[in-house]
Amino acid sequence: MFKIVISQSNLKCIIDAISHLTTDAKISISEDGLKIQAVDAANVAMCFLHAKASAFDHFEAAPGEIALDLQKLQSLASGKEPVSMTLEEETHKLHIAVGRAKYTMSLLDPSSIKAGPRIPQLDLPCSITMTGSDLQEAIKAAGKVSDHVVFEQTDEEFIFSAKGDIDSFKMPFQLTELIGIRHGISRALFSLDYIQDIAKVASGSREVILETGIDYPARIAFNPVMDISVTYLMAPRIESEN
C-alpha cells in the first residue's frame, strides 16, 4: 500500500534536493516516511534525504522500495494544488492527481538504479552553523571569479575564497558571528558545479551545518522545510601546486 498527498512546495523541495545529482531515484518507504540516497555519476557528491510522514498532508505506506524518474514527476506535478500519488501494485504504476489532472506514471525497476551510497563514517574536525542565505551569497560571489571555492576555517574565521586566472574573491565570517562553531583548522577545495546547486536548495534554511577538514570531504546538512532533512557529502578537489 502506498498512498500519499503532498504539497507542491514540499514535493519541489524533495525533487530539487536530488535531481541535480541524478534523474532516477530509488525511494525507501517505511511507515515513518521516505528516504532517498543518491550519488552523481562521477561519485563526487552524495545526498541523503529523509522526508518524515509528517511532511505529507496524508501518508499511508507499507515498507518497500520503488524507483521513478524525478524529471518526469516534476513535469507532471506542476501547479499549486496538492499532489496525490497512489501505487497500483498489480501494474506497478503510480497514479498521480493534481487538481483535475490525472496521470499514470510507470515506475522504474529499482535494480536498474545505481546502488545508493553507503554513508561514510567521517569524523570531521571542524563545524560551523550559518544561515542558508549567507551560504548562497558566498557561493554566488565565488562563482563570479572561478569554477571552484575554498572552504577554510581558522581559529578566528571561516573563509570562502576563490581564485581565477585574473580575479580573486574572499568572504570571511568571524566565528563569533556564526550560529554555531566546533573549533579546528580546515581547508579544502570544492567544485562550484555541485556547491551552487546545494546552496540553492539550502537558501531558505535558517541553519546550515557545514563540517570540514583538511582536504577532507565537506558535509552540509540542513532542513529546507519542516520535517524534511537533507545531508550532502562532497569530495574535495586536489589543489594544483603553483
Say if residue 241's pLDDT is above 50.
Answer: no
Q: What pLDDT sits at residue 119?
A: 67
Average pLDDT over residues 13-26: 92
Least confident of 101-115, 149-163, 213-227: 101-115
* pLDDT, the chain, mean: 92
Say if residue 42's pLDDT is above 80.
Answer: yes
Average pLDDT over residues 206-234: 96
- Domains, the chain, in order of start with CATH, read 2-112 (3.10.150.10), 126-234 (3.70.10.10)
pLDDT bucket at 91, cuts 50 / 70 / 90: confident
Please, which residues have CB within 8 angstroms of residue 28's CB and are 6 or more apart in sequence? 34, 35, 36, 37, 65
In this structure, what C-alpha cell is assigned to residue 13?
523541495
Contact status, residue 213 vs residue 189, Cβ threshold 8 Å = no
Query: Look-up: residue for cell 557529502?
Result: 233
Q: What pLDDT sits at residue 239?
A: 63
In this structure, what C-alpha cell is assigned to residue 141?
560571489
Distance of alpha carbon 44 from alpha carbon 237, whole angstroms: 9
